[in-house]
């Protein structure tokens, strides 16, 4: 049985040239840079975009594109990005420049999390302030850490801000910086989803003082006391719990205890208890666990952005932030183009044709136009003996 191909519009909804132009305009507007010689900033941006779309390095891009600066020249100009705070502000404006309609000036569910990239070796004086210590992973306990705030909304899951975490920076300071970075969008918090790593007296006390709605897993501690004492019975319930800290004092918070049966999930049986601190959340407490699972979209965003992250061995924390944020910018641009260009308004809501424009297609669009501007090297020549 054969099927007829679907009818398509006579004119394209989006082209590769338009896609590259949108990416270049975003970088030119929010990441200004001056270049000497015959090269223009657009050349640098196109090399960066080619490397990002290939998930490749700047050096490899310089070797395979004709008519672009050498790897040393590119690094010379990239080293002009020196001020971390200034670059972070510019990158956040770039992240917020291409957002689907309905994000700004609205109330949303937001998620905040940390993304860790392994660091190896002994940090220099310039690198040390940005080396974050955490549990061992990939053979190290040292990382470059980036905190992001992310919108949980169907077809509009975009990253609103990024922050390079400094050594010794508190969880309260991290959350404050991210929420301050999205102030220009006038986005209101419908519910804030936080990872269990933020479960602490200072964070709970601060969020409750601000009266921000939030949901956060609680850590089960103790053998018979502590939060372990809440894990009893065969039904979910609400209660209150006082968390104590020898340094920061104590705070009493509302707690939801979820009782669920694993039924052989991951080879486990019996009752499993999940604890959540739920404060002013619009979600019914019986649905907390189901809704909190949407937070894992922010972790999916970390995996997706790896398709567009420039590969590098540099330990310069400013350039590392640039490369990571550029990947998030491209993902935001992809979601923006899907919503604004590759969709149709219909009764019941907008229909987005993501299957016609996956992220890999957008990266391919960017790559193929750049290769028209700077053709790939097609031969290797050896030096002539003197």
The better pLDDT of the pair 219, 294 is held by 219
Q: How many residues does the chain have?
A: 386
- 114: Cβ contacts below 8 Å, ≥ 6 apart: 145, 146, 147, 165, 174, 195, 197
Report the run of H or E that residue 128 belongs to, with start and end: none
Q: Which residues contact 86 (CB under 8 A, 6 or more apart)?
A: none
Q: State the burial class of residue 183 (Cβ atoms within 10 Å of its Cβ: 0-12, 13-18, 19+).
A: exposed
Residue-wise pLDDT for 157-170, tens only, equals: 999 999 999 998 99
**Rounded average pLDDT over 67-80:** 92
Among 324, 278, 340, smallest CA distance to 98 is for 340
What local confidence, expressed as pLDDT, does residue 268 receive?
76
pLDDT tens digits, 8-66: 778 999 999 999 999 999 999 999 998 877 788 999 999 999 999 999 999 999 999 99
Task: Give the burial class of 175: count Cβ atoms within 10 A of its Cβ; 0-12 exposed, 13-18 middle, 19 or more buried.
Answer: buried
pLDDT for residue 1: 52
Instruction: Output Rg (C-alpha) for the chain, integer angstroms.
Output: 24
Q: Residue 22 and residue 8: Cα distance in Å, rounded?
A: 24
In terms of Cα–Cα distance, which of 314, 329, 319 is closest to 362? 329
Which residues, at least 6 apart from 248, have a Cβ–Cβ distance to it below 8 Å? 200, 201, 202, 205
What's the rounded mean pLDDT across residues 193-217? 95
What is residue 371's predicted lDDT score, i.e. its pLDDT?
Answer: 96
Burial of 231 (C-beta count, 10 Å sphere; 0-12/13-18/19+): middle
Q: Taking 70 as the threshold, does the pLDDT of residue 5 lie above it? A: no
pLDDT tops 60 at residue 2? no
């Amino acid at each position: 049985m054969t099927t007829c191909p679907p009818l398509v519009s006579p004119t394209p909804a989006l082209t590769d040239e338009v896609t590259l132009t949108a990416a270049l305009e975003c970088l030119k507007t929010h990441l200004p840079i001056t270049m000497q010689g015959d090269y223009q900033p657009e050349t640098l941006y196109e090399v960066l975009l080619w490397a990002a779309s290939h998930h490749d390095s700047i050096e490899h891009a310089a070797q395979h594109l004709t008519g672009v600066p050498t790897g040393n020249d590119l690094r010379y100009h990239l080293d002009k990005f020196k001020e971390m705070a200034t670059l972070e502000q510019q990158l956040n404006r770039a992240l917020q420049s291409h957002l689907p309609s309905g994000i700004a000036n609205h109330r949303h569910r937001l998620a905040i999390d940390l993304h860790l990239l392994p660091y190896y070796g002994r940090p220099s004086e310039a690198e040390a302030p940005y080396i974050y210590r955490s549990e061992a992973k990939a053979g190290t306990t040292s990382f470059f850490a980036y905190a992001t705030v992310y919108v949980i909304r169907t077809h509009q899951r975009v990253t609103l801000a990024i922050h390079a975490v400094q050594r010794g920076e508190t969880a309260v300071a991290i959350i404050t910086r991210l929420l301050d970075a999205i102030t220009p969008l006038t986005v209101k918090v419908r519910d804030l989803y936080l990872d269990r790593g933020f479960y602490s007296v200072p964070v709970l006390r601060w969020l409750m003082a601000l009266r921000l709605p939030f949901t956060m897993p609680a850590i089960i501690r103790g053998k018979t006391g502590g939060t372990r004492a809440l894990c009893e019975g065969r039904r979910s319930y609400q209660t209150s719990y006082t968390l104590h800290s020898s340094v920061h004092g104590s705070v009493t918070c509302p707690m939801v205890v979820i009782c669920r049966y694993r039924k052989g999930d991951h080879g486990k049986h019996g009752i499993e208890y999940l604890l959540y601190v739920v404060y002013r959340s619009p979600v019914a407490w019986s649905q907390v666990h189901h809704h909190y699972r949407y937070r894992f979209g922010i972790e999916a965003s970390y995996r997706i952005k790896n398709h567009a992250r420039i590969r590098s061995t540099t330990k310069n924390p400013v350039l590392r932030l640039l490369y990571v944020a550029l990947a998030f910018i491209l993902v935001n641009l992809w979601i923006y183009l899907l919503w604004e260009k590759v969709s149709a308004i219909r009764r019941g809501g907008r229909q987005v044709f993501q299957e016609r424009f996956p992220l890999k297609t957008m990266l391919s669009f960017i790559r193929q136009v750049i290769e028209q501007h700077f053709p790939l090297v097609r031969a290797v020549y050896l030096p002539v003996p003197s």
